[in-house]
Structure 1
Amino acid sequence: MSPRAGLDRHTLVIRAAEIADAEGIEAVTLAALAAKLGVRSPSLYNHINGLQDLRTGLAIYGLELLFTCMSNAAEGLNGDAAVHAMGRAYVDFARSRPGLYETTLRAPEQENTELEAAGEHILQFIIQVMKSYQLGEEGELHAVRGLRSILHGFASLDQKGGFGMALDTNESLTRLISTFITGIGNMKSD
């Protein structure tokens, strides 16, 4: 049986991402994807090796898009301005692509070099931005973890409606990132 014209792995991932963003990652099933594409579920196996393979493809796609958003936002900037731009881009990505964002959160599978590379690409980019703070290698990693924790926590609360007060969430994010930057010196390696 030959693959259906116009269908390929990339198309499947893009359509699955649309389902994830509209309905949540748990709504991404082979049956739902097949229905969206107007094909039978077995046809998907011409392009993917099951649901786990599709979700891994989603994670890679999500990490690549997140990297693009963050690096475009910080292009030409350094130091505090770059951290603020990256932070806003991260939260904006989570807001605009909630299902796809969720796929980016898991730790890369050790045996999946493409997924590892996509995660490593983001890590190295953020480390490069953190170099201007002269934190040392270990300090940079602590700073990356701290920034990721802050941004993920903020994005998650924002997504779930956790900020119910009539107060500008973007201003809160700006102040939070500024507070992180003020305290970043505490992450220096000894």
Structure 2
Amino acid sequence: MVRAGLTPERLARAGAELADEVGFEQVTVSALARRFDVKVASLYSHLRNSQELKTRIALLALEELADRAADAVAGRSGRDALTAFADVYRDYAREHPGRYAAARQPLDPETAAASAGVRHAQMMRAVLRGYDLAEPDQTHAVRLLGSVFHGYVSLELSGAFSHSAPDPRESWSRILDALDTTLRTWPAPAS
């Protein structure tokens, strides 16, 4: 008998909450069954396996991030758009560390193409339009921004900056200033 109210969407949301509490790598169908006080087998009518659960959590996280980023960058350009976009990622990672880890989960090409990850890429490129970068420089800049945002957030979440001055918020602001300057003065390719 299927437990009333359990759906793949509800399980993904509960899995995302669990990921924030215990870490994305610790999320399993068994752990989720304990949360709902049901037998593991009863969840398999909604999910094929733990991998499907993790994929659903990743898709949920990507959707949440895309929605936040779209709201944050609307009507902004240049450094304002860059800062708003970057702050969404940093704030989301700090509020939802498990979901943020899920959003970094590799997806198969078909799932990735249908995910909100496409919206992220479009928004990042929209932010970069304020810097007038043509291809392939725009792709290089997307990779730079993604690397810096993810690298900083990952180090911050691991506690790497918690015991030293200056305050990590000051470093984040200075990094965004440096990125803005870099994007405004993007170097020509070496010949």
TM-score normalised by structure 2 residue count: 0.92
Specify the SS of the correspondent of 1:67: helix
Question: Could you tell me which residue of structure 2 aligns to residue 117 of structure 1?
Answer: 115
Structure 1 residue 165: Cα displacement: 1.1
Distance 1:53 1:187, change over 3 A: farther
1:139 corresponds to which of 105, 128, 137: 137
CA contact 2:15–2:57 (8 Å) conserved in 1? yes
* Residue type of the alignment partner of 2:95: S
Q: For 2:157 and 2:130, how far apart are their aligned partners in 1?
A: 31
Question: Could you tell me which residue of structure 1 aligns to residue 79 of structure 2?
Answer: 80
CA contact 1:16–1:28 (8 Å) conserved in 2? yes
Structure 1 residue 107: Cα displacement: 3.6
CA contact 2:55–2:107 (8 Å) conserved in 1? no
Q: Which residues of structure 2 form unaligned runs of 5+?
A: none
Q: For 2:135 and 2:45, how far apart are their aligned partners in 1?
A: 44
Q: For 1:58 and 1:39, how far apart are their aligned partners in 2?
A: 20
Moved more, 160-169 or 146-155: 160-169
Structure 1 residue 100: Cα displacement: 0.7
Distance 1:28 1:187, change over 3 A: farther
Question: Could you tell me which residue of structure 2 aligns to residue 45 of structure 1?
Answer: 44
1:156 corresponds to which of 132, 154, 157: 154
Question: Could you tell me which residue of structure 1 aligns to residue 60 of structure 2?
Answer: 61
Deviation track 1:77-102 (CA, whole Å, cap 9, x = no partner) reads: 11110001111111011111101101
Structure 1 residue 159: Cα displacement: 0.4
CA contact 2:23–2:98 (8 Å) conserved in 1? yes
Structure 1 residue 141: Cα displacement: 1.5
Structure 1 residue 189: Cα displacement: 7.4
CA contact 1:30–1:41 (8 Å) conserved in 2? yes
1:130 corresponds to which of 128, 131, 154: 128
Q: Percent identity?
A: 36
Higher helix share: 1
TM-score normalised by structure 1 residue count: 0.92
Distance 1:74 1:12, change over 3 A: same
RMSD: 1.7
